[in-house]
Amino acid sequence: NAGVTQTPKFRVLKTGQSMTLLCAQDMNHEYMYWYRQDPGMGLRLIHYSVGEGTTAKGEVPDGYNVSRLKKQNFLLGLESAAPSQTSVYFCASSSWAVGNQPQHFGDGTRLSIL
């Protein structure tokens, strides 16, 4: 019953450092998403993927890169972290028929950039 698993759960970085957030799902879902959540802003889509080897930009993609080499994994990278990227990051997945299929969320990664 793992569902969507995010690692790490917490991380503190210094400005300019890089890191990768990992999302893994065991539901064989085609679609995967990365969101960031800031107070009062709701969930904003960073990047998403509609299948292995494909990625696309969301609403707030600047400063982030993603890769989906395997269907079950979706990686979010910060090449040069900035304080504005301090946020809670959620990964989600859904099966192909997005209009009528729910998104399943991981527990989130709380990232602070000093």
Partner 1 sequence: QQPVQSPQAVILREGEDAVINCSSSKALYSVHWYRQKHGEAPVFLMILLKGGEQKGHDKISASFNEKKQQSSLYLTASQLSYSGTYFCGTPPDSTLGRLYFGRGTQLTVWP
Q: Which residues contact partner 1 by CB under 8 A?
A: 30-31, 33, 35, 40-45, 48, 50, 58-59, 90, 94, 96, 98-108
In this structure, are residues 96 and 31 in contact, taking their beta carbons and an 8 Å threshold?
yes
The span from the CA of 56 to the CA of 71, in Å, is 15
Could you tell me the two tokens for 9?
A: 């759960």
In the complex, least distance from residue 98 CB atom to partner 1, rounded to whole angstroms: 4
In this structure, are residues 18 and 71 in contact, taking their beta carbons and an 8 Å threshold?
no
Return the ∠ at Cα 35 (arms to 49 and 43), rounded to 5°: 130
In the complex, least distance from residue 83 CB atom to partner 1, rounded to whole angstroms: 22
In the complex, least distance from residue 8 CB atom to partner 1, rounded to whole angstroms: 15
Q: Is the Cβ of residue 17 or residue 72 nearer to partner 1 in the bound state?
A: 72
Q: Is the Cβ of residue 14 or residue 28 nearer to partner 1 in the bound state?
A: 28
